[in-house]
Each structure stands twice: as C-alpha cells, then as structure tokens.
C-alpha cells in the first residue's frame, strides 16, 4: 500500500484556476515555509520530474534511491489531464497534480524529494519544490537547470564551487552550484524543511558523476520513456 493518497489535496480553493488566485495562494503559503534542517536521518531520496506529452496532458515520474548508496529502490509514474497553461512563476499549479498522483504508486516514503524546479529562488519565495514540500510535509529541494529569479555570479569551474543567489533585499535564496567540472551549473534552493547548507550537501552527494543528480536523472528518463 502506498504511503500517500492524493485524494482531497487541493492546490487552490476555487473550482477553477486563475493566475490571480494562484499568486494570492503563493503569498499565503509563504508564511508556512520552514527553512531549517532538523537533523532527521536521510535513508531515501526521490527525484520528481514532469513531462508534457501534449498540451493538456502531464506525465510525472518519481524515482526513489537509497542514500547515500544511491541505488534505485523504487519508481513510479502517472499521467493526468492538465488544463492549467504554462504561466511563469506558477509552474507548481501545472505540475504538482501529476506529481501527487505519481506518488500514489510509491510504497517507500522518501525522506527528501528533489524537484526539477525552484524552491525559494522565486519571486514570491514559493516555487515548485516549496509548494510541494508544504503540501506533503516532507523536506524538498529545488534543483533547476536554469534561473528564474535573483541576482548571482557564476561560480568557479570545479565541482562544489558555488555562488549565492540573492533576492532584491540581498537575502539568500539559494546557490548556483557546479556539480561537474566543465559543464553548466545548476540552481539549488531549499524548498521546505531544509536549509541552504544541507540542500547543497545533499545535492552534491546525490550527484557523483553527471550534472544532474541520480534521482532526477532517473525520473527524467522514466518520464521520457513513458511520454
């Protein structure tokens, strides 16, 4: 039996989605963010990725790995109808419904979920990873391949080099992180129930060989295959 059921989870209060309603909810949920690490043991981490086979279909894949051994222990996927258009800054409303349904196929509850998107490096500090973390009550990390918000300099060229992503008030939003020498960096920001230092530490440990962490690479591959 799965540890999670998506039934009853609502992303927005109204019957239909609107951009203004989504922005208002993000601002409200921001007050629920916890950017602290409580020291819990991490035995399993998951990667969550979403593809869109068509304009109105979302397909999410979840790959769960042991940690720090990084052996895949479980995977699952699910597709669902998606009627919410792509709107910059509101990606979570488009992708999370499919992620929640894919989690229903996962028996092993992950201790941390890595998301292909932003955490607090977001105009309203509530990207995909932060939104998902609040809904699930699980630590999440945003692992984006491109920036969305904030100012930064590129880090050095060695693995582990990083430079801060700063908000308008010079508040720390995350890090531009070099996960492999000679390739473009990734953009790491805490989602929920984790801090900046631990987010970088977990991502580096989960990324031994390639630019993208093993859980996210596998989730991407699974979603691509079933797409």
Two tokens, residue 147: 């920036």
| Phi, psi at 45, each rounded to 5° | -125, 150
* Burial status of residue 52 (CB atoms within 10 A of its CB: 0-12, 13-18, 19 or more): middle
Does residue 206 form part of some domain? Answer: yes
H/E segment holding residue 202? helix 196-205
Neighbours of 134 (CB within 10 A): 20
Does residue 30 form part of some domain? Answer: yes
Does residue 199 form part of some domain? Answer: yes
Containing domain of residue 140, as a range?
19-148+188-226
Does residue 53 form part of some domain? Answer: yes
CB 198 within 8 A of CB 61: no
| pTM, to two decimals | 0.95
- 216: domain CATH number is 3.30.2170.10
| pLDDT values of the chain reduced to their tens digit, one per residue, 227 residues | 678 887 667 776 666 788 999 999 999 999 999 999 999 999 999 999 999 999 889 999 999 999 999 999 999 999 999 988 889 999 999 999 999 999 999 999 999 999 999 999 999 999 999 999 999 999 999 999 999 999 999 999 999 999 999 998 899 999 999 999 999 999 999 999 999 999 999 999 999 999 999 999 999 999 998 76
Does residue 140 form part of some domain? Answer: yes
pLDDT score recorded for residue 15? 63
* Burial status of residue 227 (CB atoms within 10 A of its CB: 0-12, 13-18, 19 or more): middle
Does residue 168 form part of some domain? Answer: no
Number of structural domains in the chain: 1
């Amino acid at each position: 039996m799965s540890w999670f059921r998506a039934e009853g989870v609502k992303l927005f209060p109204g019957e239909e989605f609107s951009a203004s309603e989504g922005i208002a909810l993000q601002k409200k949920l921001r007050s629920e963010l916890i950017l602290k690490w409580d020291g819990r043991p991490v035995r399993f981490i998951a990667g969550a990725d979403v593809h869109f086979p068509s304009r109105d279909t979302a397909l999410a894949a979840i790959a769960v790995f042991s940690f720090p051994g990084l052996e895949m222990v479980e995977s699952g996927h699910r597709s669902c109808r998606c009627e919410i258009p792509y709107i910059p800054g509101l990606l979570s409303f488009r992708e999370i419904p499919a992620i929640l349904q894919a989690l229903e196929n996962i028996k092993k509850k992950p201790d941390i979920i890595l998301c292909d998107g932003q955490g607090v490096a977001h105009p309203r500090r509530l990207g995909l990873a932060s939104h998902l973390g609040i809904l699930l009550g699980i630590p999440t990390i945003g692992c984006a391949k491109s920036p969305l918000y904030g100012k930064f300099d590129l880090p050095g060229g060695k693995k582990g080099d990083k430079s801060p992503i700063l908000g308008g008030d010079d508040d720390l939003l995350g890090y531009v992180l070099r996960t492999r020498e000679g390739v473009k960096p990734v953009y790491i920001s805490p989602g929920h129930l984790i801090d900046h230092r631990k987010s970088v530490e977990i991502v580096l440990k989960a990324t031994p060989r390639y630019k993208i962490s093993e859980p996210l690479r596998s989730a991407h591959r699974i979603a691509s295959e079933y797409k």
